[in-house]
């Protein structure tokens, strides 16, 4: 890939929020799951992995949500290209009200 050129950043088109599993709520599990996602040329999330885990229950829900996200991809010199991003999803009992 050449360095330089015109870059148009990605735009999030569809964001799905993770489900807070009732079992995790009952167990008072909370925290921030950090994920890394690879998005292909058509804006589809193709791979997701956990970089920082909270608990397998919350990790699973975070992974499932981000896999459904859709982007308008990065455009470099007029051509869509894959990209990698980090995502932080917060599970907080206070936010549940």
Residue ranges of domains in the chain, CATH in brackets: 7-92 (3.30.2420.10)
Alpha carbon distance 40, 83 (integer Å): 7
Residue 78 has a pLDDT of 86
In this predicted model, what pLDDT tens digit does every residue of 66-75 receive, in sequence order?
999 999 989 9
CA R_g for the chain: 16
In this predicted model, what pLDDT tens digit does every residue of 3-48 receive, in sequence order?
556 888 899 999 999 999 999 999 999 999 999 999 999 999 999 9
pTM: 0.87
Higher model confidence: residue 7 or residue 96? 7
Residue 31 has a pLDDT of 97
Alpha carbon distance 58, 39 (integer Å): 22
Residue 94 has a pLDDT of 85
């Amino acid at each position: 890939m050449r360095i330089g050129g015109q870059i148009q950043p990605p735009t999030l088109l569809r964001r799905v929020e993770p489900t807070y599993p009732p079992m995790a709520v009952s167990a008072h599990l909370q925290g921030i799951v950090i994920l890394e996602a690879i998005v292909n040329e058509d804006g589809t999330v193709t791979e997701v992995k956990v970089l920082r885990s909270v608990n397998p229950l919350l990790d699973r829900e975070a992974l499932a949500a981000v896999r459904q996200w859709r982007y308008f991809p990065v455009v470099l010199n007029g051509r869509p290209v894959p990209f990698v991003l980090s995502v932080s999803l917060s599970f907080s009992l206070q936010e549940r009200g």
